Amino acid sequence: MRFSVVIATYNRAADLRETLASLAGLRPTADWEVIVVDNNSSDHTRDVVQEAAAVFPAPLRYLVETEQGRSPALNAGIRLALGEIIVTTDDDVRVEPDWLDRAAAGLDAEACDYVGGKVLPIWGAARPAWLPNRSGKQWAVIALLDYGPAPLQFGARVPLGVNMAFRREAFQRAGLFDPGTGRKAGTLLGQEIREWCIRARAARLRGFYIPDMMVRHVIPASRLNKQYFRRWFYWRGISRALLYDQFGLDMEKPEDRVLDFTTVPHIFGVPRYLFRKALAQLVACVGSTLKRDRVAAFEHELWLWFFTGIIKQRWADRHGNRTRLRPETLHFTR
């Protein structure tokens, strides 16, 4: 088997039906399969997969993962996968017929271990005026990505799990995804890809952005509002604080190794300089608001929500007993 496509899904049967219809249009030049991992859905997800499997052009397998969270679901699918190349995506995407071949071509052209590509929008409603129509921090909220027309090596920039492909040996060397930093129902945790990429780099794996490897991601109207963006940045602060507590990584730029945080002054477990930056962001937010620059004002406000998440999680870390799942326990043994 050349390709295994792994999809984690939870209570999104209607979206999944459309995604499977898109995947059915794939025309790779080698054998392939799709694995749908149902993460305890209470809707008719199983029926959707069974209906699609009856006419699907490749093996379409259904698996239930009872441990809640996107990372456990993906890990279960990866363990079941037969492919030499394991591709991850979501239950709300549209793909081109040559998507898998472009992933394989990128792996070969860059002689690397994993690749990620563009994720462009299918807007479920009109794009708000405060949301830039370009790649940037706000695009990450709705899982969109465009690093430009040329390949580049991942490092300071990271891929999105909705459009990634891995040589299966990458999981043998770096392990699987960490459930402690991944998305769970009721939260917007979401640092499992970044955390895995950090481990991959430590294991001397190389990853590249491949612009020709593209998917389109459906952005529902329910996410195109400021409340969702505020909540997402708040949970991003929590996620980055978890990485800081576990690995001592910079909360703004986890890939940077500039500061030795054991020597940095802290207040309530938070580097002191972040408080100064929070004050500067507040002043900038007020200034942009007075100038009626809605885009800039909201960007400054979102950083403050990010900082609020950091404060909340660092306080919890200092006053609670949280069990941490270390990456070394996440072995891929197939």
Residues 191 and 236: their CA atoms lie apart, in Å, by 8
The answer on 238 and 213 residing in a single domain is: no
User: Hey, which residues does 38 pair with through a beta bridge?
Assistant: 9, 64
Residue 93, H or E segment: strand 93-95
Please list, residue by residue across 117-134, b when 16 or more beta carbons sit within 10 angstroms of its beta carbon and e when fewer do.
bbbbbeeeeeeeebbeee
The answer on 153 and 103 residing in a single domain is: yes
Exposed/middle/buried for residue 56 (C-beta within 10 Å: 0-12, 13-18, 19+): middle
Of the residues 171, 189, 223, which one is the last residue of a structural domain? 223
- Cβ atoms of residues 225 and 193 within 8 Å: no
- Cβ atoms of residues 145 and 135 within 8 Å: yes
Residues 182 and 76: their CA atoms lie apart, in Å, by 14
The answer on 106 and 193 residing in a single domain is: yes
The answer on 216 and 255 residing in a single domain is: no
In a domain, 261, yes or no: yes
Q: What pLDDT was estimated at residue 223?
A: 94
The answer on 257 and 207 residing in a single domain is: no
The answer on 279 and 217 residing in a single domain is: no
The answer on 263 and 138 residing in a single domain is: no
In a domain, 217, yes or no: yes
In a domain, 332, yes or no: no
- Which domain, by its residues, includes 238? 228-319
In a domain, 333, yes or no: no
The answer on 22 and 53 residing in a single domain is: yes
Residues in the chain: 334
> How does pLDDT run across 274-322, given as a tens digit for each residue?
999 999 999 999 999 999 998 899 999 999 999 999 999 999 888 764 5
Q: Long-range contacts: 292-295, Cβ < 8 Å, 24+?
A: 294/129, 294/130, 295/129, 295/130, 295/132
Q: What pLDDT was estimated at residue 184?
A: 61
Each residue's pLDDT, cut to its tens digit, for the chain (334 residues) gives 999 999 999 999 999 999 999 999 999 999 999 999 999 999 999 999 999 999 999 999 999 999 999 999 999 999 999 999 999 999 999 999 999 999 999 999 999 999 999 999 999 999 998 998 888 889 989 999 999 999 999 998 999 999 999 999 999 999 999 987 766 666 666 788 988 998 999 999 999 999 999 999 999 999 999 999 999 999 999 989 988 988 888 899 887 767 788 889 999 899 999 999 999 999 999 999 999 998 899 999 999 999 999 999 999 888 764 544 444 444 555 5
- Cβ atoms of residues 56 and 34 within 8 Å: yes
In a domain, 79, yes or no: yes
Residues 89 and 73: their CA atoms lie apart, in Å, by 12
What is the CATH classification number for the domain harbouring 136?
A: 3.90.550.10
